[in-house]
Chains A and B, each alone.
Chain A
Amino acid sequence: MSVPHALLALLSEGPKYGLRLQNEFESRTGEVWPLNVGQVYTTLQRLERDGLVASEGDGERSRKRYAITAAGAEELAGWLRTPPELVPPPRDELVIKVLVALQIPGIDVREILQAHRRHVIEVMQRYTKIKAEAAEDDVPLALVADAELFRLEAIVRWLDAADARLKQLPSPTPAAPAGVPEPTRSTEVSR
Chain B
Amino acid sequence: MTSALELRHVSKIYGSGPSEVRALSEVDLTVERGELVAVMGPSGSGKSTLLTIAGSLEEPTSGEVLVEGTELTDISRSDRAKLRRRSIGFVFQDFNLLPGLTALENVTLPLELDGTRARPAQETGLDALEALDVAEHADRFPDELSGGERQRVALARAIVGKRGLLLADEPTGALDSLNGEAVMRLLRAATRRGVAGVVVTHEAYLASWADRVVFLRDGHVVDQTLAPSGPESLLAAG
> Which residues of A are in contact with B by a Cβ distance under 8 Å?
31-34, 110, 114-115, 117-118, 120-130, 132-133, 146, 149-150, 152-153, 156-157, 160, 163-164, 175-177, 180-191
Interface residues of B, CB < 8 Å — how many? 48
List, sorted by A's number, 17 A–B pairs whose CB atoms are closer than 8 Å: A33-B238, A115-B223, A117-B223, A121-B40, A121-B204, A125-B210, A127-B234, A130-B234, A132-B188, A132-B209, A149-B205, A160-B42, A164-B42, A177-B220, A183-B219, A184-B21, A185-B21
Q: Chain B interface secondary structure, helix, strand, loop or mixed?
A: mixed
Q: In the complex, A33 Cα to B233 Cα: how many Å?
A: 12
Cross-chain contact of A34 among B18, B23, B47, B235 (Cβ < 8 A): B235
Q: What is the chain A residue whose CB lies nearest that of B221?
A: A177
The residues of A that contact B217 with a CB separation of less than 8 Å are 110, 114, 175
Contact at A183–B43, with CB atoms within 8 Å?
A: no
Interface string of B180-191 (1 = CB under 8 A from A): 000001001000
Q: What is the chain B residue whose CB lies nearest that of A188?
A: B44
Q: A149-B208, A156-B204, A176-B220 in contact; A187/B21 too (CB < 8 A)?
A: yes
Q: In the complex, A190 Cα to B217 Cα: how many Å?
A: 12
Q: In the complex, A33 Cα to B224 Cα: how many Å?
A: 28
Cross-chain contact of A132 among B18, B20, B185 (Cβ < 8 A): B185
Q: A180-B25, A190-B44 in contact; A126/B218 too (CB < 8 A)?
A: no
Q: Which are the 4 A-B pairs with shortest beta-carbon distances?
A: A124-B208, A190-B48, A188-B44, A156-B204
Contact at B234–A191, with CB atoms within 8 Å?
A: no
Interface string of B16-27 (1 = CB under 8 A from A): 001111110110
The residues of B that contact A160 with a CB separation of less than 8 Å are 42
Taking the nearest CB of chain B, how far is it from the CB of A59, in angstroms?
32
Contact at A118–B225, with CB atoms within 8 Å?
A: yes
Contact at B21–A183, with CB atoms within 8 Å?
A: yes
Contact at A34–B46, with CB atoms within 8 Å?
A: no
Decide if B115 is an interface residue (CB 8 Å cutoff).
no
Q: In the complex, A83 Cα to B207 Cα: how many Å?
A: 31
The residues of A that contact B43 with a CB separation of less than 8 Å are 188, 190-191
Q: In the complex, A21 Cα to B18 Cα: how many Å?
A: 69
Q: In the complex, A129 Cα to B217 Cα: how many Å?
A: 26
Q: A130-B231, A185-B20, A186-B44 in contact; A150/B14 too (CB < 8 A)?
A: no
Decide if B229 is an interface residue (CB 8 Å cutoff).
yes
